[in-house]
Structure 1
Amino acid sequence: MAHLLGGENLTVSYATRTVLDGITLGLEEGDRIGMVGRNGDGKSTLMRLLAMRSTPDSGRVTKRSEVNIGYLDQSDVLDGDLTVGAAIVGDQADYEWARNPQIREVMGGLVSDVDWHANVHALSGGQKRRVALAKLLIEDHDVIMLDEPTNHLDVEGVAWLSRHLKTRWRANQGAFLVVTHDRWFLDEVCTKTWEIHDGIMDPFDGGYAAYVLARAERDRAANVMEGKRQMLVKKELAWLRRGAPARTAKPKFRIEAANALIADVPEPRDSTALSKMATARLGKDVLDLENVSLDFLGGDPGQKLFDNITLRLAPGERLGLVGVNGAGKTTLLKLLNGEIEPSSGKVKRGKTVVTAVLTQEVKELDDVSDLRVIEVIEREKRSFNVGGKEFTAGQLVEQLGFTNEKQWTPVRDLSGGERRRLQLLRLLVGEPNVLMLDEPTNDLDTDTLAAVEDVLDGWPGTLVVVSHDRYLLERVTDHQMALLGDGKIRALPRGVDQYLELRESALAGSTITGGGNPVTGPSGSSAPAASGSSEAEKRDARKAKNRIERQLGKLEQQEKKIHDQMVKSTAASDFDALADQNKKLKDLATDREALELEWMEALEVLGE
């Protein structure tokens, strides 16, 4: 593969901190690279250097003379006074750009719903992002660099961008480098991963999942080395402590080496399981929406945002919500939280329900902006009982990445991601039993997302998550539902893939499966209304439904068993067994899809 561009001994420092420390790397034709790392570790800095938008303190970036680089910054770079059309295609006439199939595909995928004649400054953040992406992607570049391209994109936009990048070039042509916290996107489009941390870059083969596995293996090996070092530390400590006469007979360099080992041993600290935090008891009834309709706020009378929907949340239920922009996802959370009243229908709330909502803007921290992080949590409680043991507020905040130094930072000085972490922690220590999260992944890096997911994984209350991050939805929720902008709410037995299929059908002018007013199914999910089925058909459907549910239960047990085997194979570095187990999981997933489709057909007949 031909070399396109590269960096040699790249070093960048800010004040007393070195962000990049002598990094050497390169991009070859055919590279599909995702960059990951904590916020502030230098991902965007490195991308700007490679795109030749900034210069390093030392080192250099070189590229082949004919290589053309396209670069999308995080910030808005479009002229706000231009119209959308002028911002994307300049002064080209419609017939000039419209005859190019690649340009037509980009336009259809990103800006088909944006007013071509509107000024850029009048657009929403998501629309500006799509216009900037469209401008970049219609151009002919050898290398494309995208810094957080999925910010402000919905599930459909992310899916379209992944398809475009995978098919833009042939396998060994072109290259792209992307920085994003969207782990599904990284897995979908990348064949290599660069991890930026502590001033260096570690390369890994594969997308996000392969990177996580390889990093776990690297950390396991490091732990083995650390264990051996700790044993050496103990031996050296024992030798040093044999008394003054013994020490005087030993060479000085042995004493210096032992002291160096001792000084390098990290201080032990206790870890707190936030996921086991006590919550208020939930009764049988949680939150129910019964035949709820809601007019568009500020719209014409009779225009419905929700039209006669029914949704029931069970104790411990974990629901993910996806939907088109403006379909009412955030409004649905406000209905469930009692912030707004429906135009008709009932909102039933259990007597013991205690709700908490993480909003997109995190305005809830405005009233504590002058307090320090630790003070915000201590205002809720100074100590917490977890698993029968008492822990301080400081021990708790450390679990979501607030070091001893960060704990004393004023809230007003926190970054966007740190503010979201603090607000989530503040909500959890308030001990709610219904937690609603509105786009919780905004501004969080991949490591912090994993920590948040670990907390949510074991959280015992009812959870409702609105997010365009399908990795998060599939990780922390048990089932998903969709708002498609038609006033209805629909179940997605096959998850986000089914939602994208429904949207494609809708955009193509097809009728969405089921139509009409969906009725409530298992766990409050919606299913298409039944047609006039005979009693014999219903009897057969009921038998099929019971049989399928038994089979799905067995599949779930098999999947759990394979997951346990994969953990053992990872620990033993048995990658052949791991590949075999992964194939078995994919086969089970295929069987599950077929059974779930059959299950839905049975529900249609039964009218459930």
Structure 2
Amino acid sequence: MALLLGAESLHLAYPNRVVIDSVTCGIFDGDRIGMVGRNGDGKSTLLSMLFGRLEPMGGRVTPRGGVRIGLLAQSDSLDDEATVGHEIVGHLQEYEWAGDPRIRDVVSGLVSDIPFDRLIGALSGGQRRRVALAQLLVGEWDLIGLDEPTNHLDVEGIAWLARHLKNRWPKNQGALVVITHDRWFLDEVCTATWEVHDGIVEPFEGGYAAYVLQRVERDRIAAQAEQKRQNLMRKELAWLRRGAPARTSKPKFRIDAANQLIADVPDVRNSLELKRMATARLGKKVVDLEDVGVAYGDKQVLADVTWLIAPGERTGILGQNGAGKSTLLNLIAGAIEPTSGRITRGKTVQVAILDQQFRELAEIGDKRVREVLAEYRTSFTVDGKELSPAQLLERLGFTKDHLSTPVMDLSGGQRRRLQLLLVLMSEPNVLILDEPTNDVDTDMLTALEDLLDSWPGTLIVVSHDRYLMERVTDQQYAVIDQGLRHLPGGVEEYLQLRAAQDSRPDAAATARGSDGSAAPEGQALSGAELHAVKKEVSSIERRIDRLTAEIARLHDQLAAHDPTDFEGLSALHAQVREREEEIEQLEERWLELTELTG
């Protein structure tokens, strides 16, 4: 296969550490490379050097003459004053771009809900990211680099992107390099994996499942020094082989070697034992929803929902933004009451929600991690063993040095881990995880899943991360057409339902919201309900304006900050990300409410 791009002895270092050290690699026609590694280990830095966005301190990158190279970086170069249509298709008229199957597929797959005449500056962060991705994919490229392309995509969008990339070029033509924490996407798209760690790049054959197998073999050879990590990855491999057999049917997965490695590994979860423990803590009743509905005036959000949540139940909830997932979670948590039907809760139920913000951490930002942990329990039981909070933190990827770090100075991923630990130490018996994978790398996701394996309470997960959904839950439901539908076929069944919903004959005659659900045109709220919805919309808009102003102020601080103060820069970047995430969630709620107003 022809070499598209070669890199020789790449080197880049900061004053306090080496990021990339003497890396030599090549990208060939037909390569589909997934790049993995811990946050901060240099994945985006390496991608930027390979694609010409960052000049290395040493070494060189040499693309083959005439190779067309495109990159989706973490920040875009879209013109705020341009329209969406201009940024995606340039000056092409509709009849011109609509006649190109590739452009038509990209537009329908990524931006069908965004008006072409809307200005870029008026878009939300998630919409802007999708426009930037669409702008890249409509182009003709021999080599594409994608840095976290699945961010701001839902399950359907991620499935579409995987199909597009698999079918974009003929076999053994074109190449892509992708950085993502979405392990399902890595397995679906990639035929090779590069692990970036300790300044080097270590190549592996195959996607995520094959990478896990080879990494277990590597760690087994390394033996004593990596014993803890080895056991954790062997457990992950056991799940890949036993819990998701479709992944292991690919020829690249070495089944005999996998079976030998996991011969003595127990099941990922002892379901019977966990349910016994959950029943002891919760009793027989958790939360029962019977014929529950939620409506604002004549506008129905949920209707005739019946769900008897059992002790120890592990359930994933699917649905598009605005479909009513947040309403359902609020009903379970008792934050809102239904307008029809009945909800009953067990007397011992204690609900905790791990949300997308870090509100509880904001109040303790000045405290050191050890001081925060001292305010909670002194021990925690995992897999039948008593662990101290410090041992739990170590299990979640912290070091002893982190115990003396102020909470505000932790990275986004570290704060997510601490947030999870504090939630678990508050001893809930019903845990709701709302998009828990934000700011978390693949190693951390594996550790998080391992911890949840031994948690005996009732678990409800809302996530666009398909791998996590399948990994930690035993069943899935979809919020669709105002109701709750069981999915025996899991995520695949949900995607089929959504495809069938979009192809209904009456789809064109109905007004669709951001969630894709249908509602008759012209339907409006009235009276007190309309007033309440408009009041919340105004409140959200004011909050978004304040957060936008805070982000602008933080960007000014970043521009004026000492460029050699990497810890300070990291803390400022973390604050920016936190506010951007809150804006994203507020925008989703805004879309849900504006859909109610018609």
TM-score bracket, shorter-length normalisation: 0.7 to 0.9
> Counterparts of 2:25 and 2:407 in 1: how far apart (Å)?
37
1:417 and 1:345 mapped to 2: Cα distance? 40
Matched, 1:343 2:335: no
Alpha carbons of structure 1 residues 385 and 91: separation in structure 2 relative to 1, 3 Å: closer
Q: Helix, strand or coil for the counterpart of 1:352?
A: coil
Instruction: Report the CA distance between 1:281 and its aligned residue.
Output: 0.9
- Contact 1:505 1:511 survives alignment (8 Å): no
Work out which of the residue numbers 413, 425, 428 in structure 2 matches 1:429.
425
1:495 aligns with 2:490: yes
Q: Secondary structure at the match of 2:375?
A: helix
Which letter does structure 1 place at the counterpart of 2:59?
A: G
Structure 1 distance, partners of 2:150, 2:391, is 34
Query: Is 1:214 matched with 2:214?
Result: yes
Higher mean alpha-carbon deviation, 281-290 vs 366-375, is at 366-375
What SS does the aligned partner of 2:436 have? coil
Equivalent position SS for 1:375: helix
Aligned twin of 2:293:
293
Structure 2 residue 398 is matched with structure 1 residue 379: no
- Which runs of structure 2 are paired with 1:34-45 in the superposition (5 Å)? 34-45=34-45
Deviation at 1:347, TM superposition (A): 1.9
- Using the alignment, how far apart are the partners of 1:163 and 1:85 within structure 2? 23
Q: Secondary structure at the match of 1:422?
A: helix
Alignment match, 2:175: 175
Closer/same/farther in 2, CA of residues 226 and 98 from structure 1, 3 Å limit? closer
**1:22-41, aligned counterparts within 5 Å?**
22-41=22-41
Instruction: Check 1:504–1:391 CA distance in 2 against 1; reply closer, same or farther (3 A cut).
Output: closer
- SS of match in other structure, 1:316: coil
Secondary structure of the equivalent of 1:41? coil
Distance in 2 (CA, whole Å) between partners of 1:338 and 1:142 is: 53
Pairwise CA distance, 1:382:
3.4
CA 148–222 in structure 1, closer or farther in 2 if over 3 Å, else same: same
- Cα 1:224–1:452, aligned 2, differ >3 Å: closer, same or farther? closer
SS at match of 2:223: helix
1:332 and 1:225 map into 2 onto residues whose CA distance is 46
1:65-144 to 2 correspondences below 5 Å: 65-144=65-144
In structure 2, how many angstroms separate the alpha carbons of the residues matched to 1:196 and 1:406?
23
2:403 corresponds to which residue? Answer: 407
Cα displacement (A) at 1:110? 0.9
2:324 paired with 1:328: yes
- Counterpart secondary structure, 1:405: helix
Counterpart CA distance in 1 for 2:327 and 2:413 is 23
Is the 8 Å Cα contact of residues 110 and 134 (structure 1) preserved in structure 2? yes
Further displaced range: 304-313 or 458-467:
304-313
What is the match of residue 456 of structure 1?
Answer: 452
The C-alpha deviation readout for 1:192-246, integer Å capped at 9, x for no partner, is 000001111110010000000000011111117999xxxxxxxxxxxxxxxxxxx
Q: Kindly tell me: are residues 511 and 379 of structure 1, through their superposed partners in 2, closer, same or farther at Cα, counting changes over 3 Å?
A: farther
The answer to whether the 8 Å contact 2:81/2:119 transfers is yes
When residues 425 and 63 of structure 1 are mapped into structure 2, their CA distance, relative to the original with a 3 A threshold, is same
Q: Does 1:508 align with 2:503?
A: yes
Letter in 1 for 2:202: D
Using the alignment, how far apart are the partners of 1:130 and 1:385 within structure 2? Answer: 43
Looking at structure 2, the residues matched to 450 and 225 of structure 1 have their Cα atoms a distance apart, in angstroms, of 19
Is contact 1:318–1:479 with CA below 8 Å preserved after alignment?
yes
SS at match of 1:380: coil
Superposition RMSD on alpha carbons, in Å?
2.2
CA distance in 2, matches of 1:360, 1:385: 26
* Aligned partner of residue 177 in structure 2, secondary structure: strand
Q: Distance in 1 between matches of 2:148 and 2:311?
A: 36
Shift of 1:381: 2.2
CA–CA distance in structure 2, aligned partners of residues 324 and 226 of structure 1: 41
How many Å apart are 1:501 and its aligned residue? 0.4
**What's the CA shift string for 1:325-361, capped at 9, x where partnerless?**
1112122112111112222222211101111100012
Matched, 1:310 2:274: no
Shift of residue 126, structure 1, vs aligned partner: 2.3
Q: 1:87: Cα distance to partner?
A: 1.7
Aligned with 2:329: secondary structure? helix
Seen in structure 2, the aligned counterparts of structure 1 residues 33 and 407 have a Cα distance that, compared at 3 Å, is: same
Partner of 2:562: none
The whole-number CA distance in structure 2 between the counterparts of 1:80 and 1:288 is 48
Note the alpha carbon deviations across 1:540-593, whole angstroms, 9 max, x for none.
Answer: xxxxxxxxxxxxxxxxxxxxxxxxxxxxxxxxxxxxxxxxxxxxxxxxxxxxxx
Query: Is this contact kept in 2: 1:374–1:397, CA < 8 A?
Result: no
Amino acid at match of 2:97: W
TM-score, normalisation: structure 2: 0.74
- Give the percent of matched residue pairs that are identical in Structure 1 and Structure 2: 59
Matches within 5 A, 1:263-274: none
Equivalent-residue separation in structure 1 for 2:123 and 2:419 (angstroms):
29
Task: For 2:470, give the aligned amino acid.
Answer: E
State the one-letter code of the partner of 2:447: A
What SS does structure 1 have at the residue aligned with 2:363?
A: helix
Deviation at 1:455, TM superposition (A): 0.7
1:360 matched to which residue of 2? 356
8 A contact 2:183–2:208 mirrored in 1? yes
**What is the Cα deviation at residue 375 of structure 1?**
2.0
The structural deviation recorded for 1:76 is 3.8
Residues 505-534 of structure 1: CA deviation (Å, up to 9, x unaligned)? 11111699xxxxxxxxxxxxxxxxxxxxxx
Is the CA contact 1:359–1:439 (under 8 Å) kept in the aligned structure 2?
A: yes
Match of 1:479 in 2: 475
DSSP 3-state at the match of 2:71: strand
Q: CA deviation at 1:463?
A: 0.3
Post-superposition CA distance 1:46-90 (Å, at most 9, x none): 000011001111111110120111100112432222221112112
- SS of the residue corresponding to residue 149 of structure 2 reads coil
Q: What's the counterpart of residue 146 of structure 1?
A: 146
Alignment of 1:490-569 (within 5 A): 490-509=485-504
Cα 1:332–1:362 change in 2 (3 A) is: farther
Deviates more, 1:383-392 or 1:447-456: 383-392
Contact 1:294 1:342 in 2 (8 A): yes
1:93 deviates by 1.8
The superposition leaves residues 78-109 of structure 1 with CA deviations (integer Å, 9 ceiling, x where unpaired) of 22222211121122222222221111111111
Distance 2:162 2:309 in 1: 33
Q: Which moved more, 1:386-395 or 1:287-296?
A: 386-395
Which runs of 5 or more structure 1 residues have no equivalent in the other structure? 228-272, 513-608
Q: Aligned residues, how many? A: 461
Query: Residues of 1 paired with 2:153 and 2:482: CA distance?
Result: 22
Q: Is the 8 A contact 2:147 2:179 kept in 1?
A: yes
Amino acid in structure 2 at the alignment position of 1:142: D
Question: Is this contact kept in 1: 2:430–2:457, CA < 8 A?
Answer: yes
Q: TM-score, normalised by structure 1?
A: 0.73
Residue 392 (structure 1) shift: 3.0
CA distance in 1, matches of 2:290, 2:401: 49
Alpha-carbon shift at residue 389 of structure 1 (Å): 6.2
The alpha-carbon distance between structure 1 residues 483 and 388, as it changes in their structure 2 partners (threshold 3 A), is closer
**Are the counterparts in 2 of residues 330 and 438 from structure 1 also a CA contact under 8 Å?**
no
Q: Is the 8 A contact 2:383 2:454 kept in 1?
A: no
Read off the aligned partner of 1:124 and give its amino acid letter.
Answer: S
CA contact (8 A) 1:78 1:132 kept: yes
1:386 is displaced (CA, Å) by 5.7
Please give the residue correspondences for 1:250-269 in structure 2 after superposition, counting only pairs within 5 Å.
none
Distance 1:224 1:438 in 2: 37
Which segment is superposed worse, 432-441 or 73-82? 73-82
Pair 389,445 (structure 1): closer, same or farther in 2 beyond 3 Å: closer
Asked whether the equivalents of residues 183 and 442 of structure 2 are also in contact (C-alpha less than 8 Å), the reply is yes
Contact 2:382 2:451 in 1 (8 A): no
